């Protein structure tokens, strides 16, 4: 079931159209596209109408409506849930945007069973590209793990994508892939992992 959910979320990430500016022309027509170059007399936009950039004279424009789907730092703190299926790890997440592209995150996880496990991890992530309503990011994290009376450390490097639905821009869903190394808790382990997160930003 989880594989189907991950596949659906991956499809959604790539099926959402990129945000664009809307140009209102004096003739009454409208054009949508990403503005690539703009000066006092002309601007060039990347439009779906053609494979080449369109050149528009500023005197032919009556209005430029800029895309407002970009992240607002007014909603800089997110609370949510982080799940790593191949390790069956569940964490509560508190993520704070330090700037428009940098974030710090605290994750706390606990599980009880044959072995009680508690973990705290601090992570840093950086957005390297914005595609419409999705952020592509990379980062690293380090933490402390306790299994019964044994304590160890964890290190991870990761990359992924966080998607903000247009209808609910304060809600973020992310998929990430990375490398995780754990030391000091039984056998030292290192391997690849995948994870899914959901957060609501205030």
- Which residues have a Cβ under 8 Å from the Cβ of 121 and sit 6 or more positions away? 91, 106, 107, 108, 109, 141, 142, 143, 144, 154, 156
Highest mean pLDDT range out of 19-23, 125-129, 149-153?
125-129
Give the other-Cβ count within 10 Å of 154's Cβ. Answer: 19
Torsion over CA: 28, 29, 34, 38 (sign): negative
185 found inside a domain: yes
Q: Which domain holds residue 54?
A: 20-65
Asked if 158 and 141 touch (Cβ cutoff 8 Å), the reply is yes
| Number of domains forming the structure of the chain | 2
Q: Are residues 108 and 59 in the same domain?
A: no
Provide the pLDDT confidence category of residue 117 given band limits of 50, 70 and 90: confident
Q: Are residues 180 and 85 in the same domain?
A: yes
6 found inside a domain: no
Say yes or no to pLDDT of 113 above 70: no
Q: Distance between CA 135 and CA 169 in Å, rounded?
A: 12
Dihedral (C-alpha) 123, 168, 64, 57: value to the nearest 10 degrees? 70
Residue 29, domain CATH: 2.30.30.100
Q: Are residues 54 and 84 in the same domain?
A: no
Q: Are residues 136 and 57 in the same domain?
A: no
Confidence at residue 187, expressed as pLDDT on a 0 to 100 scale = 66
pLDDT digits (tens, 9 = 90+) for 27-42: 888 878 777 777 778 8
Confidence at residue 18, expressed as pLDDT on a 0 to 100 scale = 41
111 found inside a domain: yes
Instruction: Give, for 196, the enclosing helix (H) or strand (E).
Output: strand 189-201
pTM: 0.63
Q: Are residues 56 and 117 in the same domain?
A: no
**Residue spans of beta strands (DSSP E) within 39-184:** 42-46, 54-57, 61-65, 77-84, 89-97, 102-111, 117-131, 134-147, 150-163, 171-183
Q: Are residues 57 and 33 in the same domain?
A: yes
Measured CA to CA in angstroms, residue 113 lies from 65, 110, 118, 147, 148 at distances of: 55, 10, 12, 11, 11
168 found inside a domain: yes
Q: Are residues 120 and 186 in the same domain?
A: yes
10 found inside a domain: no
Q: Are residues 58 and 114 in the same domain?
A: no
């Amino acid at each position: 079931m989880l594989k189907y959910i991950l596949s659906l979320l991956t499809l959604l990430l790539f099926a959402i159209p990129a945000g664009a500016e809307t140009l209102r022309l004096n003739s009454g027509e409208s054009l949508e596209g990403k503005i690539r170059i703009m000066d006092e007399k002309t601007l060039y936009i990347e439009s779906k109408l053609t494979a080449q950039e369109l050149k528009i004279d500023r005197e032919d424009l009556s209005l430029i409506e800029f895309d407002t789907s970009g992240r607002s730092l007014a909603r800089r703190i997110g609370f949510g849930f982080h799940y790593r299926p191949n390790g069956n790890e569940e964490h509560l997440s508190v993520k704070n945007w330090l700037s428009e592209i940098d974030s710090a995150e605290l994750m706390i996880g606990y599980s009880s069973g044959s072995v009680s496990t508690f973990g705290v991890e601090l992570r840093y992530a950086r957005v390297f590209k914005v595609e419409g309503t999705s952020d592509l990011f990379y980062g690293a994290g380090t933490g402390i793990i306790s299994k019964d009376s044994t304590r160890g450390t964890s290190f991870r490097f990761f990359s992924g994508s966080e998607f903000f639905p247009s209808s609910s821009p304060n809600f973020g869903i992310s998929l990430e892939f990375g490398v995780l190394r754990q030391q000091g808790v039984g056998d030292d382990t290192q391997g690849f992992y995948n994870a899914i997160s959901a957060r609501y930003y205030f």
